[in-house]
Structures are given as C-alpha cells and as structure tokens.
Chain A
Amino acid sequence: MPHHSHRRSSTSLVAGRRPSLQHAGPDVSELTLLKEETHTGDHFLTPTQLEVVYRTNVITGHTDTFAREMLETYGPNQLKELKGNSYWKIFRHNLFGWFQCVLWCGAILNFVGYFFSDSLESGDGHSGKEYLYLGCVITATIVGTGLFGFYQEAKNMAVMSGFENLVPPNATVIRESTKKIIPNSEVVLGDIVEMTGGEVVPADVRILTCTNFKTDMSSLTGESEPIKHRPECTNSNPLESKNMVYFGCPITEGSAKGVVVATGEMTQIGKIAGLVTGLEKEETPIAKEITHFIKLICGVAFTFGLLFFIMVYVIQKSWLSALQYMLGIILANVPEGLIVTLTVCMTLSANNLKKKNCLAKTLQAVETLGSTSCICSDKTGTLTENQMNVSHLFCNFTIFDKNDHEHVSNHSYATLSLAASLNLKATFAFDTMNLPIEKRKILGDASESAILRYMELNRSATQTRENNPKEAEIPFSSAYKYQVTIHRMQASHSYYLIMKGAPEIVLEYCTKVITDEGDQALTPQVKKELKASFIKLANMGERVIGYCDYNLPLDSYPLGYKFDTQQRNFPVENLRFVGAISMIDPPRRDIDKSIELCRQAGIRVIMVTGDHPVTALAISRKCGTITQPTAYDYAFEHHIELSDVPPLIKNQFKAAVITGDELRKMSVNDLKHAQKKYQEITFARTSPQQKLFIVETYQSLDHVVAVTGDGVNDSPALKKADIGIAMGITGTEVSKQAADMILLDDNFASIVLGIQEGRRIFDNLKKTIAYTLTSNTPEMLPFVLYACAGMPLPMTLILILVINVGTDLLPAMSLAYETSEHDIMSLPPRKPTDHLVNRVLIFMAYFQVGMIQFFAGMYAYFVVFAQSGFFPSSILFVRQDWESPSATVLDTLGRTWLFVDRKRVERRAQTAYFVAICWTQISDVIICKTRRISLLEKGMRNHVLNASIVVDLIAALVVTYLPLCHEVFGTEPISWHDFFLAMPFFVLMILGDELRRFLIRRNLSKWVERETYY
C-alpha cells in the first residue's frame, strides 16, 4: 500500500530526527507542538465552518484592510532563511580577526612609541618618525586588507542572495470579490486562492472546488506520481486527505480554489525546513584546514617573537627595542596578505564554477568538492535527462529500436503506431504548437508525453488523431490498470477500440495476437514468449506499455452508437494484442564519460534512487556506476528469483543493488560492511530518510561525501553531507537552502567539473601558501644575524611589511588563476589526513626556497657593503658602535664612518636586500606555478601571473628609486647593476626546482618526492 508508506516516511522524518535535535538544543516542546499541529482538522471542516474559523468569505474573500492586518499579525508567507552571515559579522571578522588583532597590537605599540619617543630616546636609532610611519603602514595594511576581504565576501554574499530572490512567485487571490495577483509572501490565513497547473501552491490550502487538480507532493511525501485532489475529506491524516494541498508543491495540471489554512513557518514544509535549520553543520574541511593553519602560524609567530624579546632584552637592555624586534618577528611570520589572498582565490573559483553551472553558496564548498571521495547521486534528473523517451517498440514478436524505421509499413507495426497515436490523453499545449516538436510543451504524464512526442515526430500523431476522433474513454485507474478509448475511424467508418496498460494486464484480455502474416491465436506458449520479451525490456530498465485493439463490428455498433463507459456497453475482452512500447528516462549524454572520469579520480559514485531495483540497475549500468555483475544479473541469466541465488555465489559479487527494504533490516555495521565490500552499489527503492543513513555511514568510513538531492526530504541528507548539492531546476527552495552548492543545470557532469575545480583550488591554495610562507625566512633571519652576529640590520620592519602586503600580494593571488595540472583527475582524492599545510610544505618554504632567498639577500647586502668599503669581516660584531650616534666605525680601507653616513650605507644595503627578495620571490612564484609537470610544458600562459610579476618589479623600482619612498620606507637608491644582484640565485632556484620536478616525474628516487613534493 503506497499510502501507508508515505505517511510513515513523512512522519518518520520528524520522529527520526528527534534525538539529534535534542543534542542540538532546540526546544523539544516546540517540536512536539509542531508534531501535534499536523492534525489541525481543517480538512474535516465544511466551507461554512472554514469561513467561521478563518473569518473569511468563500465568495468574496478577505477585505484588503483585514488582509493587511493579518499580514502584520502573522508575518509574511515565506520560509525563514537559513542563518547567514550579516554584513557586520563579516566586517568584524575581517578587521578584528586573529591576524588582525596581532597587527593592531603592533600598530598601537608603534603609536605609543611615537608619542613617547622623545622621552624614551634610547639611542637605538629609531627616530620618532620611524615609529609613526611603521604604525601608519601597519594600520593601512589591516584596514586595506580587511576592507578588501570584506568587499570580496560581501560581493560573494550578494551573488548568493541574488540567486535566492531570483524568481519571487506570485499568487492569485480573491479579495473584495476581485481576483488579484499578489506576491506569494503577502498571502495570509483565510485567503481564497486560485491555483492552476504550472504554478506552485502558495501556502497550505484546503480545497473548496477543483477540476482535475493534481499536485506533485514528492517534496513532502516522496511520492513521485502526482496526486489528484478532491474537495472531500478522504483521510483523517491531513497529509493523506485529498482536499489538502501544501506550500511549495508544484501543480502539474488542473485548477482549484481553496482557503489558505497555514502560511510561512506554520506550513508543513515550513516545519520541515525548521527542522533542517536545527541540524548542525559540520565545518567544511578547508575551513578546518585554514583555521588550523592560522592558529599554527600565530603560535609560531608569538613563540619566536617572545624568544626574540627575551634575547634582545638580554643583549640591549632596552624594552622598547626588544618590543620592536618582537614585533618584527611577528610581522615577518604572520602572512598579512594570506587571508585576503585565500578569499580572493576562492571567490575566483566560485565564479569559475558558476560559469560551469555550479553555484557555490559558501566559498569553502568549492574546495570541499575537490576532496570528495564519494558521491551519492540521485538518478532522475541528475544522471538521467528527467524526460521519458520511447526507446523500443515491440510487435510481431520482435523488438524494434526507436530509430529503426524500416518496418513502418509492416502490418503489425502500423497497427501499433495507430493504436499508440490514438490512445493518448496527452496533448500539446496550444500556445507552443508553433515550436519544433521537441520543444513543445505537453500536457499529460511522462509516459504519454513520451509516446506523443515520438508518434508526432515519426507518425504525425496529431493528424491521425484529428482524422479519427475519440468517441469514448475509460480513463486509467490504478484499480484496473488500463485505459480504453474508442475511436470513429475515418478509413473504415467503423468504431475501433484500443486498450492500453501494463502488458501483463492487457494480455489477459486478449485471445489473439497480431502478426505481419495475420492474426494468430494466443496460446499459453505464445503468451509465455510475449511475457519473456516484456521482461527482457523491463530488465533494460524500461517501462513497458502494452496495446491491444478490437475492431467493433459495424452491424453491432453502427455509427452514432452511444458508448457508455459506466455501463460498458462494448466488449473489453477477446481483444487482439497489438504490441508494446517501452520507454526509458535515458541517461544524460556523456554521463558515462563523467562517471569514468570520477572512477579514474578515485571517486565512488553511488546511485540512490526511489526507483525499482531493475530499472535502477539498468540505468546504473548505462551510466557506468555499476560495471560488474550483480546478483540480479545472475538471477536473470539463470531465470531464478533473486532470493534463490545461492549465498556462496552472492558473496562473490563486487557490485550490488541494495533496496530500501533490505536497508531497513540492516544495522549500521551491516551497511558499513556492505559499503566496504561492494565497490559499486546502487541503492534502489530508498526513502529520503535512508539517504541520510547512507550518507552518515559513508562519512563514518572516512569518506568525504557529496550528496545531490532536490526534494524537501533530501534536505537533512544535504545538510549532513560534507557537501550538499541541490538541483537548480527541479530542486525545491528548501533543498537549495540546505545545500552548499546548487547545480544550475541539474547535470551530473557539472559536479565532475566542480570536483576538478575543487582540486585545482586546493592545489592552488597550497601553491599560494607555499609562496607566501617562503619570504618569512629571509624576513626573520636578518634579526637573528643582527642579534647574534652583531651585523647591521639587513632588513627593516617596514620593508617586511612592504614585502608581505605589497609585493607578495598580487603574485600570491595570481596563483589562483593557475590552470590545473593535467594529471589532476587521475590522482586519488585527498585523504582527510592530508593537510593543506603539511610538514613538507613548511620545510620547502622555510628551509629550502626560503634559504635560497636569504642567501640571495645576504649576497646583495654584502656586495653593497663591500662596495662602500665594508668588507664582510668588518661588519661582524659591530652592532654596539654601529648603532651609537656618537661612535665612529672604521671600514676595511681605514676610512672613518660617521653615524649618518654609515646609516645611509646600511639603508642602501637594506634596499639591495629587499630588491633581492623581490627577485627571488618572482622566481618563487614561477616555481610555485607547477608542482609536478615541467615549467617548459606548463609555460607562462597565466597572464595574471605574468602581469603580477611586472607589477612586482615596478613596485620594487618605485620603492628603491622614488624619493617619497626613501622617506617613508627608509630606502636608499642603489646603482642599476646592484638591482640584479640576485640573478644567480634566481636562476639556481628555477633550475633546482626543475631538477626536483624531473626527479619526481621520473620517479628516480622516491625520497625526493617525499621530502619535496608538498
């Protein structure tokens, strides 16, 4: 009994989620309330009683003023949006986050230093102005990056909310005796609404009158067939009663008038949506990674900072300069631009994905998609086209392909075509008649639409139907499972009866079967043969419809004979079997390629569908989600029942179809075991609640699970999944709200593109981080040299900031534009244990590439000093004299240097160091472009990156040669040939990395990969 199971499924959602809700915290009494309110009893009431209850009038409707009052009292008729981030929250997060607070401390410290510098003049060489400049630059950094990040996130949020408000639906209501079209959100309790096919039910409505009114309640009950409604109460359960329709359900056909009995949050869907909001959302993997990374970096920065504070304080005994150097170390370690860069990277990728018809609701969702290792996909609409199409015709004991037109003139084939064209209730929508047949809108159910479309394309059905008008009709009923029409035939001027229905059923009414050689008696032998053919078609996952006919003799049924379908004054027995037509919802084009791609990428695709297992298996096979034999195949081959397959053989299969009934009997461990055992699984006949169960079990097996869904009942699974993907076309509003990503074209292939994009993002984020972290080494080590070797400081704090937020920022962002490496989809998905920032990346950045940069910088530094007469030996352990304004320092040539002059030399050396870091950061961005393939192969086709290199160089030139920058950043112009001092290291870095990649690609030694492949 389908009805029973519907009720169970709809209420079990409430019951099933209850324990977890208790964990999550929402009020349990509220939940009980919701549950009890299911039985409002509106469906029992008569229209007069309803008028009293809702203070309305069935004929004239509300008055405008009363409606307005109601709207104010009960609020708009819309679902509460899932909690989003407010602008203020984003703003606060961007300006006063973890990093930012560290920097604010630094800035405040500098301003304090500036105001007290006169009284604290301690002779350490920091004039008051330097404090001021540094403070200003830090503040500008925080505000600049903060506002930029805020802008990016706000822009992204605007895109999201823009999508949600894309199509505000309207409703037709009767108010003050006139029909009005008002926005759906203004519908109030007691409104008299009119609904017609194609619309969406505006609220929970009790039907007063209706004609042939059908709604698709699948989002609420899971029942995919549209429900035909009646004004009478048919069941004590309002969800089952035919006189109730619910908010958000699409109206497939007919029209109706009714009273609104619940709006907004109080509607059935509103209550379920309310449950969804109560579900806790797990933090996305990338968010976890980034949080982890930020904490780590902040920790490291503070540890080093504190270490330096103590060290400098012990050496110099000045708390102010100790604080300065602590700040320096922290500034060097905290990659100020990183957060902005990451935001930009992900926004870029989200935009990219949008172009590919994936709309990511959160930035992190994009990356999560890349680490997906398991996709639980819907069948209808995602893997298939969601449109029934005729695939085979069966007549004369032969199965013909739909494209096989050689036999059209055969007697049996022609008869079948005629029968199929005539016995149709579906028609083309009048206003779309001018369009090509494929694009015309058809009124009618999916199977009839398919037949009509096929027959119109190949047999000009409309013409046939006009010529042979329908005289009588017994509509399809689930009670007798057939449909009969009687037509007045133009050619023979007689009546012709056609019966259509499930083939096994209609066969029972037949005594003859048509063949090309004439009619043949239907012996049990023939019957068996025919049934075998039907099973063969059904095993291909096709829906089979049988046809039989009867030429009503003219003498018994002369023209003008009154057919009475109630009395059945015509024969429906001893018919002639004509043939059958089978239909299928075909897999989307190239879906098998997409699935193959997933398979290569180590991603399991699990089909979860409400369909019959045989259909599900056939589609799985066509899509490629199941490639190996299953117990079903064994049963078909050996013509035995599935339950008769010996357990020994059953255990050998690597693929399986698990039905909802089997699933119901399984425990968590059973399912886990099955999921481990079978590489390929299709879940058939499942309810949406079981989807949640399946998802949770896969997650417990350490899979990162993506789930696609469209119904309201899918939303718990969408919410629970690591990444929920809702359908943009067929999806309900609730499922879209619960999902992290929306497929605008409902196409599975978009998910695969999304996965590729997600992996690319993860790679690019790694590259970005590797690039950004690298410059920390040459920024930090100068302080070590200064403190330990007593050399003049090679790098100032302000120049560190210039690198971190100036020259590093653009190249880091430009890495987000890097295209994917070609083998990206042949590597297995990232394990949850693979971190974004791992040990190898840190070692690479800090101890390999960073060291090259440090050496390059030191070389430039020594060259500038040596050219001024200070050979390296003469600047060791001179800090005390060097920093003292009254002392003189002798250079190697014996010249005496006064404070002002030697400070200029120092500034020039610092500038040279800075320029060297800029150069080696350029080579760093070049080597970060690719992790595996050769740079020659990859090329320099990322023009954003190329541009950023140019901008980087210009920035370095400006900082070096612009007089204003000399003042603000404390730089000193260097001679043009000193600008290129870092070149040998530039070349070394690129060649060295090329060698590294070569070794990794050739797999010459595994350890190179282990130590240097991040």
Chain B
Amino acid sequence: MAGKSNGVDTSDWARAPPTSGPLWQRMCKAIYNPEDKSFLGRTPKRWGIVLIFYLVFYAVLAALFAGCMGVLFVTLDDRKPTYILDRSLIGANPGVAFRPAVDGSFLLDNTNSSSFDIYVDELKDFLNDYNSDSWYSSKEECTVDDNFGYPNSPCFFIKLNKIYGWKPEYHDVNSLPSDMPSDLREHIATLPSLEHEQIWISCADEVSNATSIEYPWGRGLPGRFYPFLNQDAYLSPLVAVKVTPIANTPTTIRCRAWANNIIYNKSLKEPSGYTRLSIYVENDTSLNSTSTGGAENK
C-alpha cells in the first residue's frame, strides 16, 4: 500500500501561492507597476478620472453647503441675534465686569512704570470710543489726564455685559432692598428724582473697611443707555471706581450691580450679579504699588 499513490499524499499545496518576490520588490510594484503602467494601483488616466470625480463630488457638496450657509445668512439678522433674553443661552441676567481686564495675578511695583503701563494703555484703548461722547468728556477724574489714578489709587471701570433687548427694572427709591449698603442709600437719597432710574453699583472691601473707595463718575449706570439694541456706536455706560488700598496687603473688592432683574448670587462657583477684583499692593519704599488680579464675573 505504501507505494500506492493516487496523488493524495503528494499534495501539500491546496491554494495557489501568493504573488512571489521579496518584499521590497512587491512594494515597488505597488508604487509603480511597469506592466500596466500603474502608479499606486491606478494608471494616470484613472488617476485623472478619480481626481475629476472627487473634484465634481466635492464641488457639488461644497455648493450645497454654501447654499445652505447662504440661506442661513439671509435669514440671520446681523444686528439682532436669533434668540434674545430668556431664549438665548447668554440669558437675561447681565454679568458684571470691570476694566482693565486682568487675567491672573502678578506683582506691581509703583516705582516701575512698566508694571502698570499695560493697564493704562488698555484703558486708553478701551475709552477711545468714548472720547467723542459728551457724557465721557465731561468727566474730570479717572481720565487719561490723571493717568487713571495709576499707580497710587487706580481707577477701575465697572460695566454690565451687553444683553440684547435687556431693560433694567430699577429699584423703587422708596423701597430699596434691605441689604443695600447704607452709604448707597444715602447717596441715592441725595439725588434728584430724574436720576433715580439708574443701575446702582456698590463696591466694598470683602475683609476690612480700611480701603478707600471713591466713585468719581457717580454711582449708577444711567438708564438712558438701555435697552441695548445693537445701535451704531453704542457705548456701554460705565461706573468708575477709584480704589486706594493699603500697601502690602492683598485686597479683594466686590462690586455689586443693583436692579430688580439682576439676580445676585454671592456663591463663588456660580457668581452672578457682582464682580470681584483683587489688588495686591507691593511697597518696597513707603509708597503703594498696585497689583491687581481677579476674575471678571457677572
């Protein structure tokens, strides 16, 4: 039996072997195959066809995309957002912010002008738009002329974030909220009734009362600036706060905006209705140097 062979025992193969040749040769063939003159598996003609195909395909796709975007822009009003107030994600509760905008903390030396010049420059830039405004040009303190009080008693400008269509609901002068600081109540009481329609700003040192805080431009954001409807050359009203902190002590000032529809949440995690600014004054000599820091909050 051993000699009997009907072919079964001689057949180790069962499949045709794969195309032979060493690896590099096969790779070369994959890149350029001289037999059918194909480059990376396609002949130049087929490459052309493929390129044209994808060109046309993407052109059509891009055209459709462009068309859709065109329709979008036609329907969009570039002056007025689609969603306003409560329907908008930005909400109807304006955030409170201050200028100059500061990110992070750093040291400020009052003998070294380069440490505060950036703030002065930023404020100059920021207030540039206001120059033509009579409301601004009438101010005397906290302007370019006095270098915004830097470095000894720097000025900060408190503003509200612009919310399209938002109208403040002013506090009734006769029933001001009970948690309103007494100095602000007294200040309001001195004002004529014409000026009662304002969003009041109150600032206080969070720790001690030693810091001197002045409001050279008045203590309210005038109601005539509201509502914001993306008017041409619209300028946010500002309240200037002039702070004179104690040297070599970290100072945190909290400024709160007062109106019936500004919700106040004193939590640091979900702040609303106030902003905090931290100032650190470094004094090598006997003079103040100012360091500011803090987050810009609602």
Contact = CB atoms under 8 A, between A and B. Distances in A.
Interface in B59-87: 60-62, 64-65, 67-69, 72-73, 76, 78-79, 81-83
Given A848-B57, A868-B88, A893-B230, A1007 B4 contact: no
Interface string A653-672: 00000000001101110010
Contacts of B91: 901
Contacts of B41: 839
B15 A699 contact: yes
Contacts of B89: 868, 901, 904-905, 908
B72 A866 contact: yes
A904 B164 CA distance: 18
Contact of B162 (A666, A700, A895, A1010): A895
Interface string A882-902: 000011100011111110110
A898 B14 contact: no
A659 B49 CA distance: 53
Interface stretch (A618-626, A690-698, A940-948): A690-698
A47 to B, nearest CB: 33
A689 interface: yes
A460 to B, nearest CB: 51
B215 to A, nearest CB: 23
A700 B64 contact: no
A81 interface: no
Contacts of B161: 895-896, 898
Nearest to A896: B161
B61 A852 contact: yes
A700 B82 contact: no
B235 to A, nearest CB: 11
B59 to A, nearest CB: 12
Interface string A629-673: 000000000000000000000000000000000011011100100
A19 interface: yes
Contacts of A668: 7, 10-11
B277 to A, nearest CB: 13
A904 B296 CA distance: 19
A863 interface: yes
Contact of A867 (B9, B50, B68, B76): B76
Contacts of B268: none
B97 interface: yes
Contacts of A862: 69, 72
Q: How large is the interface on B (under 10, 10 to 19, 20 to 34, 35 or more residues)?
A: 35 or more
Q: Which of A282, A690, A700 has the most CB of B within 10 A?
A: A700
A896 B97 contact: yes
Nearest to A18: B9
A855 B83 contact: no
B1 A12 contact: yes
A851 B72 contact: no
Contacts of A664: 6
B15 A700 contact: yes
Contacts of A17: 8-9
B185 interface: no
Given A868-B83, A869-B81, A1011-B50, A692 B8 contact: yes
A15 B5 CA distance: 10
Given A689-B8, A847-B54, A859-B68, A699 B76 contact: no
A23 B88 contact: no
Contacts of A560: none
Interface in B281-298: 295-298
A696 B54 CA distance: 45
Contacts of B24: none
A847 B64 CA distance: 16
Given A700-B16, A905-B89, A11 B1 contact: yes
Contacts of A901: 89-91
B68 A23 contact: no
A886 B103 CA distance: 7
A18 B295 CA distance: 84
B65 A895 contact: no
A249 to B, nearest CB: 23
Q: Which of A702, A869, A1010, A1011 has the most CB of B within 10 A?
A: A869
Contact of A696 (B4, B8, B72): B8
A886 B294 CA distance: 9
A876 interface: no
Nearest to A972: B89
Contacts of B240: none
A907 to B, nearest CB: 9
Given A8-B4, A895-B164, A868 B15 contact: no
B164 A863 contact: no
Q: Which of A697, A700, A866, A896 has the most CB of B within 10 A?
A: A896
A574 to B, nearest CB: 48
Given A848-B57, A867-B82, A693 B11 contact: yes
B163 interface: yes
A88 to B, nearest CB: 32
B9 A866 contact: no
B106 interface: no
Contacts of A127: none
Nearest to B17: A700
Contacts of B296: 886, 888
Given A859-B68, A988-B64, A700 B97 contact: no
The interface residues of chain B, by DSSP majority, are classed as loop
B53 interface: yes
B109 to A, nearest CB: 24
Given A666-B7, A1007-B49, A702 B16 contact: yes
Interface string A668-706: 100100000000000000000110110011011110000
B197 to A, nearest CB: 23
A700 B13 CA distance: 7
B7 A867 contact: no
A189 B295 CA distance: 93
Interface string A862-881: 11001111011000000000
A664 B162 CA distance: 97
Contacts of A892: 78
A984 B11 CA distance: 60
B39 to A, nearest CB: 15
B37 interface: no
Contacts of B163: 895
A893 B15 contact: no
Interface string A972-1008: 0000000000001100100010000000000000011
B12 interface: yes
Interface string A6-25: 00100110011111100100
A851 B64 CA distance: 12
B194 interface: no
A689 B6 contact: yes
A894 B65 contact: no
A693 B6 contact: yes
A656 to B, nearest CB: 18
A16 B164 contact: no
Contacts of A663: 6
Interface string B29-68: 0000000000001000010011001100110111011011
A945 B164 CA distance: 47
B210 interface: no
B9 A20 contact: yes
A904 B4 CA distance: 82
A867 B72 CA distance: 9
B76 A700 contact: no
29 contacts: A11-B1, A16-B9, A20-B9, A282-B14, A668-B7, A689-B8, A693-B8, A696-B8, A696-B13, A699-B14, A699-B15, A700-B15, A720-B14, A863-B72, A866-B76, A869-B81, A872-B69, A886-B295, A894-B162, A894-B230, A898-B297, A901-B89, A901-B90, A904-B89, A908-B89, A984-B68, A988-B64, A1010-B46, A1011-B49
Interface of B: 1-2, 4, 6-16, 41, 46, 49-50, 53-54, 57-58, 60-62, 64-65, 67-69, 72-73, 76, 78-79, 81-83, 88-91, 95, 97, 101, 103, 161-164, 230, 270, 295-298
